[in-house]
């Protein structure tokens, strides 16, 4: 049995079909990148993995059990923005998850428990390269550093699944390369199962182990909402040839144009 099983999944909002007949098996420790035109349900699928959205029809299982219907500490998330807490310093941001777990009532740790937890926090900050900024406020950090912090905040909880929703979309290209290295390193060290949504086809082709292309197989120009998207390509990364890359790019941009037109 695979770690995550999705069978004939449909997601609809009224008449608007977002995802149709989507099936997928993912093993523990895989790093899947999700690409596709905007409006093709990548983020919706991510939200369903997170427990923020529920499916309309079909089946979605985590180790054979139905997905929990609300977010929990086993599934971490990094958004493009607003993932860190502005009222907490860098160190407090990373400490927060550990405090919430160990202190249900106050949500705060004191004394030796806090010192113990801070060891993990500082190790985590070291790993993402934020040790020098530990006492800064998030607004004092650059965009890239804020994303490093959001990643640290999630990883310190050792989640079983980590969801990344266009985490590097707002960053400069150079910084993005550094972030790729960071996320790959953390993924190798922890063995977390990662799903990453990206707009950037290039990013999708080089990061992770598996590329999932979300696209519409049918298009009604008069009624773009009538048909949903599904996974049109499911490729192991590293074995893709130039031709496949080009045909995916053509297909995705055709869908993008028809959706925006």
- Where do contacts with another protein occur on this chain (CB under 8 A)? 50, 52, 70-73, 75-77, 79, 81-87, 96-97, 99-101, 104-108, 137-140, 150, 153-154, 157, 159
Between 154 and 198, CB nearer to another protein: 154
Between 1 and 105, CB nearer to another protein: 105
Q: How far is the CB of 76 from another protein (least distance, A)?
A: 5
Between 146 and 255, CB nearer to another protein: 146
Q: How far is the CB of 165 from another protein (least distance, A)?
A: 9
**Segments in 77-211 forming alpha helices (H):** 90-102, 111-128, 143-155, 173-190, 201-206
Cα angle for residues 197, 256, 51 (degrees, 5° grid): 35
In 3D, which of 69, 55, 62, 68 has the Cα closest to residue 22? 55
Q: How far is the CB of 50 from another protein (least distance, A)?
A: 7
SS3 162: strand
In 3D, which of 83, 86, 101, 91 has the Cα closest to residue 122? 91
Between 71 and 224, CB nearer to another protein: 71
Between 32 and 109, CB nearer to another protein: 109
Q: How far is the CB of 199 from another protein (least distance, A)?
A: 18
d(Cα 2, Cα 23) in Å, to the nearest integer? 13
Residues 96 and 106 sit within 8 Å (Cβ to Cβ) = no
Between 22 and 152, CB nearer to another protein: 152
Q: How far is the CB of 89 from another protein (least distance, A)?
A: 8
Ordered DSSP codes for 30-83: -EEEEEE-TTSSHHHHHHHHHTSS--SEEEEEETTEEPPSS--TTEEEE-SS--
Residues 12 and 228 sit within 8 Å (Cβ to Cβ) = yes
Q: How far is the CB of 196 from another protein (least distance, A)?
A: 15
Residues 141 and 97 sit within 8 Å (Cβ to Cβ) = no
């Amino acid at each position: 049995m695979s770690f995550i099983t999705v069978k004939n999944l449909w997601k609809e909002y009224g008449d608007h079909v977002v995802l149709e007949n989507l099936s997928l098996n993912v093993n523990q420790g895989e790093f899947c990148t999700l690409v596709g035109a905007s409006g093709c349900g990548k983020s919706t699928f991510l939200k369903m993995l997170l427990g923020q959205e529920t499916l309309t029809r079909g089946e979605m299982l985590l180790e054979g059990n139905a997905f929990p219907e609300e977010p929990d500490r086993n599934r971490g998330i990094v958004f493009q923005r607003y993932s860190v807490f502005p009222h907490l310093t860098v160190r407090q941001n990373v400490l927060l998850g550990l405090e919430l777990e160990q202190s249900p009532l106050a949500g705060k740790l004191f004394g030796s428990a806090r010192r113990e937890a801070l060891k993990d926090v500082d190790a985590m900050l070291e790993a993402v390269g934020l040790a020098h900024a530990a006492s800064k406020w998030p607004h004092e950090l650059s965009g890239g550093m804020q994303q490093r912090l959001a990643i640290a905040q999630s990883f310190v909880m050792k989640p079983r699944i980590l969801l990344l929703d266009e985490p590097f979309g707002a960053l400069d290209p150079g910084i993005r390369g550094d972030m790729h290295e960071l996320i790959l390193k953390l993924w190798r060290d922890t063995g977390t199962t990662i799903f990453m949504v990206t707009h950037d086809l290039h990013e999708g082709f080089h990061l992770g182990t598996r590329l999932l292309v979300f696209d519409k197989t049918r298009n009604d120009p008069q009624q773009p909402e009538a048909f949903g998207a599904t996974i049109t390509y499911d490729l192991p990364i590293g074995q893709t040839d130039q031709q496949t890359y080009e045909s995916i790019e053509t297909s995705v941009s055709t869908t993008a144009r028809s959706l925006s037109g």
